Chain A
């Protein structure tokens, strides 16, 4: 490898580092409603957001696992976050969306009641999960404080983890 090439590569990696640094103190999230609560997940964990369509029921699974659906040729599990969070099931309506999240090789679709918005939030405005639910097992990553409300930020890897 010539020295020139090396220099270029070094330069590039330096630039990358500085970009990451800039982004480091702001977190981009996508907010959504389940019941009366607003939740959010990191925008980079979201593969896509789609309108609801037909899925196929799968037997012998907990009730929050609705089944599987066809996402352009891939068979992907569909989970209902309302049921998972212990709320009563609700009919899917106009605002219902499937959020397809990815963490490593794990992909799943989640049914949410309504999307709110994309949120940019400073790291310093994110507090830890409340003591009562903190620990390794919680799916709450932290609590984002905004001017008029607080948002529960969820751990995508925990959402995608099979717990049955």
Chain B
């Protein structure tokens, strides 16, 4: 059973590849009916699919392709001229063939699709037009019909041995057929058609190919020998043919399962994260061991690792790249069908098909392009009469080109149709209630063009099968934005419209700007960041309850990132803030953040099923320190910003709510921070008689953690200056950042007595400065004074 599946898989992969090429070739054929090379190519596809499907017992598919082959064969011999009507039937049959292949892929059987009508039409063409030229098709009829007449074998109920025998038999049969066919053709005095070309030229996934060969060989000795002989015959015959026939360069490729590439990409992602981490550690080490010799060596290694990682990342990204031609291929056919349907004359010009994009993007970009092109055909290009009346060439042109621009791919769709009329767009939108009266007046032309992407917008008078439902362009916008891309429209009435889609090269790894708000960090995709500005609080104005600022000549609406992500304001807001100006198409927004952390390459990770769809969050990334940072979804953020009321830099109320009336001495809580156990004990002994609650911490970091945990409500802190990890000054500065602790008395207890030390103490926010040694009474009285110790407790 496995072997059958394997062969089936190979057959499907090969067939889909061939069919993909077919559409484009066929449309070209219509304009160049004499091109023998093209005809031969198309004939070969039909032939290959027929051969393989008959071998695999797909009778319906064989039946259909067989008749296609008849028609194409006649055309190839010049017995039949391809007219658009004939082409319609051929295209129809190819659509059926695709549908059949898809059914086979999904169900492993080719039932459920009726091909008889199409076959009848094909027959009519091949008989009606040229009844006499039937020599060859007859030969093939005899050969090919044999497998079709055989009884359906039930593979599911066979045991492995039987299946093997059956495959063996079919193989032999198929080779005999091939041979007979070749002989017949050679007898008829024509070239040997090149059979499955692709198979020979591409190095198949090695293990699979080997398996195919080896398994039968190991089982039954006599048959395989015969078979191998034959296959060598066959191969040499085939190998000779294509080299003569196809002068086009043969691509050296390996077919690799996409899953392997995805896995590789994930591994690279991990590597990038590790690299980021390594760089961070390197920075820390540099700081701590400044001037040490080994630092240079370390720095060298780090930079090599980072360089190689970047190169590796690019290399792997490239393996995932596909030429955009894969998507473009289907458009000639689409334009052809549309122009016949709409009775317009349209020419499609393709350029830059070789431009490469990440596979996942290539898959996503197809639909939006279909919608844009349909739209251009239906609304853009005028009817031939109108065009002639306007003095334009009768045939309209749509050009589709792709090119690189920096880190982005630009796909540009131009048409020379009637163009967009901004005034008309605005009025239509106003009629449909999509924009307000104010917008109607103030909207710029550029903004008006983007109205066509609004859901529910359509200028078509009637809904046709092509467009008019007001859905398509909305799909375009959402899909492109999903890819972190941007859309740019330009148009001139009567001359045409240009739509540019700007899409990042890859989705998995992006450049991001890291920003900080309070104690949290967020990553903003750099592609959406236009600039960053440092402002002071009084540059922010409030208009109609929204914050705005003046940026050069423009007014920029502002929103605080903390308001959008419900960040608790625990740190004191500083006098200054940063504004990250986000741009998406024509709309702009200023995002207020507390700090700018820097630019970093981040790997996008999904938040998983449980947390998916959180508004404003596009995913998460893992940072150099191992922590998780959320990635901002700029599109969603812009729409969320509309509903956020301004609280921008306003300072929340003092966090004094938790203060309770002191009823006993132990309600007073004092923290003792000192790295020396002895010193802590001395202070404890001095204060214990008062009955206070005492909490000890061995250094600044520990003290800060205790404060942050919020377990105690401290009334004062005794702080040593010299401490490991975090010294007293730093601790004081950190504490003063928190609103809650702004008024917490900090008392320095230290042996440093110089004036400059005292000055630094005051600067960092200490209220008292006690020098060691001190008397227990003195310490107690200072503490009493600072905690407002009630006299009755004494």
Contact = CB atoms under 8 A, between A and B. Distances in A.
Interface string A86-113: 0000010000000000000111100000
Contact of A75 (B159, B614, B622): B622
Interface in A75-134: 75-77, 91, 105-108
Nearest to B610: A77
Interface string A9-28: 00000000000000000000
Given A58-B630, A59-B617, A75-B605, A162 B610 contact: yes
Closest 10 CB pairs of A and B: A59-B565, A1-B160, A56-B628, A75-B620, A77-B610, A75-B605, A59-B566, A70-B622, A70-B628, A68-B628
A91 B270 CA distance: 33
Given A54-B627, A56-B629, A68 B620 contact: yes
Contact of B273 (A55, A73, A105, A107): A73
17 contacts: A1-B161, A56-B520, A56-B627, A57-B520, A58-B611, A58-B614, A59-B564, A59-B567, A60-B614, A60-B615, A68-B620, A69-B628, A73-B270, A75-B628, A91-B709, A105-B609, A108-B610
Interface in A20-78: 54-61, 65, 67-70, 73-77
Among A55, A60, A67, the one with the most B-chain Cβ atoms within 10 Å of its Cβ is A60
B626 interface: yes
Nearest to B566: A59
Given A68-B628, A160-B610, 13 more contacts: A56-B520, A56-B628, A59-B614, A60-B615, A68-B607, A68-B620, A68-B630, A74-B605, A77-B608, A106-B608, A107-B608, A162-B610, A162-B611
A107 B610 CA distance: 8
Given A61-B614, A70-B627, A76 B608 contact: yes
A77 B159 CA distance: 48
Nearest to A107: B608
Interface residues of B, number: 30
Given A56-B620, A73-B270, A91-B711, A68 B160 contact: no
Contacts of A60: 565-566, 614-616
Interface in B689-727: 709, 711
Contact of B607 (A1, A54, A58, A160): A58
Interface in B600-614: 605-611, 614
Contacts, number: 71
Contacts of A70: 622, 626-628
A162 B612 CA distance: 10
A157 B65 CA distance: 50
Among A55, A56, A67, A107, the one with the most B-chain Cβ atoms within 10 Å of its Cβ is A56
A67 B522 CA distance: 14
Interface of B: 159-161, 270, 273, 520, 564-567, 605-611, 614-617, 620, 622, 626-630, 709, 711
Contacts of A105: 609
Nearest to A56: B628
A56 B622 CA distance: 11
A29 to B, nearest CB: 23
A75 B622 CA distance: 8
B209 to A, nearest CB: 22
A58 B611 CA distance: 9
Contact of B617 (A1, A58, A74): A58
A89 B384 CA distance: 73
Contacts of B620: 56, 68, 75
A74 B616 CA distance: 21
Among B159, B609, B628, B711, the one with the most A-chain Cβ atoms within 10 Å of its Cβ is B628
B155 to A, nearest CB: 14
Contact of B608 (A61, A67, A73, A75): A75
Nearest to B625: A54
Nearest to A5: B160
Among A65, A67, A73, A76, the one with the most B-chain Cβ atoms within 10 Å of its Cβ is A73
A35 B102 CA distance: 56
A164 B554 CA distance: 41
A159 B107 CA distance: 36
B404 to A, nearest CB: 32
Among B565, B607, B609, B615, the one with the most A-chain Cβ atoms within 10 Å of its Cβ is B609
Nearest to A69: B628
A56 B517 CA distance: 13
Contacts of A108: 610
B609 A73 contact: no
Nearest to B626: A70
Contacts of B270: 73
B759 to A, nearest CB: 36
A74 B607 CA distance: 9
A56 B610 CA distance: 15
